[in-house]
């Protein structure tokens, strides 16, 4: 898969994606990540990427030209068929379903939002999708872009074991059950007996029950149609 990220702070994107599983995916060629500095497509000696908003108001707005022209230059003929995401606090929520959809593509691009936002004509001209990783505001979209790339990369074939993906939180509607490892007792807290029993059917039942309980506690909206008992 090829991913192109467009930003005014390339190091903020590249740094968290240069270690661990994502870096191994890059090294083995399963992820072809390219991070582009939007200032390369500015048209003044100050390499200006923002300006004051029409209609007044605080803050600055990212200009359309460097973004549109940058994507046109890098994606070329592939632009029309490439999914373009725009990180935005007001975007649709990024979730595991979207991560799986992106992982099935050959290529996608991310534009990192900044300041008060991005000129709306970027969305209109490129058909970009505004995406948010949570209901809070970051100083910029670089960390959000890194989160998206990380979540998608681990779903690519051969990056991590298929079993780990199938049996984790958000793979279904439930969050994952709790985990334990050695020692069997730590500071008076013991591993549940069922996990030491060797009875795989009982272990699977316990894990299923725990998934429901944790989902009800941490993500109650997912069990809105669930009935008591």
Whether the upstream peptide bond of residue 183 has omega within 30° of 0, thus cis, is yes
Question: What band does 223 get if pLDDT is binned at 50, 70 and 90?
Answer: confident
Please report, rounded to a whole number, the percentage of residues in the chain having pLDDT higher than 70.
93
Determine the pLDDT at residue 199: 97
159 is a domain residue:
no
Give me the CATH number covering residue 29: 3.40.1280.10
Residue 226 pLDDT grade (very low, low, confident, very high; cuts 50, 70, 90): very low
Range of the domain at 181: 167-223
Instruction: Pick the closest to residue 32 from 152, 117, 180, 138 (CA basis).
Output: 152
Question: Does some domain include residue 229?
Answer: no
Provide the H-helix boundaries in the chain: 10-14, 20-28, 64-75, 96-103, 120-126, 142-153, 162-166, 200-218
pLDDT at position 195 over 90? yes
- Over residues 120-170, the pLDDT tens digits come to 999 999 999 999 999 999 999 999 999 999 999 999 999 998 766 666 555
Q: What is the pLDDT of residues 29-64, one digit of tens each?
A: 999 999 999 999 999 999 999 999 999 999 999 999
One domain for residues 114 and 38:
yes
The predicted pLDDT at position 128 comes to 97
Are 178 and 110 members of one domain? no
Both 185 and 138 in a single domain? no
Residue 121: CB atoms within 10 Å = 13
- 160 within a domain of the structure (yes/no): no
In eight-state DSSP terms, residue 49 is -
Strand partners, 111: 6, 86
Question: Of 127, 153, 179, which residue sits at a domain end?
Answer: 153
Q: What is the pLDDT of residue 170?
A: 55
Co-location of 109 and 173 in the same domain: no
Q: What is the pLDDT of residue 86?
A: 98
Mean pLDDT value across the chain: 93
Q: How many domains does the chain have?
A: 2
Same domain, 179 and 215: yes
Q: Please report whether residue 162 resides in a domain.
A: no
Place of tokens 């007996």: 193
Element (H, E) at 109: strand 107-111
CA-nearest of 4, 16, 15 to 40 is 4
- Residue 229's alpha-carbon distances to 160, 190, 212, 224, in angstroms, are 36, 27, 11, 14
Q: What's residue 163's pLDDT?
A: 67
Residues of the chain above pLDDT 90, percent: 87
For residue 157, the number of C-alpha atoms closer than 13 Å in the C-beta half-sphere is 4
Instruction: Name which of 58-67, 111-120, 205-214, 216-225 the model is least confident about.
Output: 216-225
Residue-level pLDDT at 172: 65
- Assigned domain for 228 exists: no
pTM: 0.87
* Same domain as 171, residue 146: no
Residue 158 covered by a domain: no
């Amino acid at each position: 898969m090829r991913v192109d990220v467009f930003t005014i702070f390339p190091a903020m994107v590249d740094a968290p994606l240069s270690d661990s599983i994502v870096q191994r995916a890059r090294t083995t060629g399963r992820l072809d990540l390219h991070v582009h500095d939007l200032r390369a497509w500015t048209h003044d000696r100050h390499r200006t990427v923002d300006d004051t908003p029409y209609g007044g108001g605080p803050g600055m707005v990212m200009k359309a030209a460097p973004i549109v022209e940058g994507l046109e230059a890098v994606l070329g003929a592939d632009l029309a068929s490439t999914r373009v995401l725009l990180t935005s606090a007001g975007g649709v929520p990024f979730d595991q379903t979207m991560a799986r959809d992106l992982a099935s593509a050959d290529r996608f691009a991310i534009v990192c939002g900044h300041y008060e936002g991005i000129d709306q004509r970027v969305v209109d001209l490129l058909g970009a999708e505004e995406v948010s990783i949570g209901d809070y505001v970051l100083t910029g979209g670089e960390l959000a872009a890194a989160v998206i790339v990380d979540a998608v990369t681990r779903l690519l074939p051969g990056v991590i074991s298929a079993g780990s993906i199938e049996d984790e939180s958000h793979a279904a509607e439930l969050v994952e059950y709790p985990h334990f490892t050695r020692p069997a007792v730590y500071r008076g807290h013991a591993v549940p007996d069922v996990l030491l029993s060797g009875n795989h059917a009982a272990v699977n039942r316990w894990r299923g029950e725990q998934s429901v309980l944790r989902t009800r506690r941490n993500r109650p909206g997912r069990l809105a149609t669930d009935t008591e008992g």
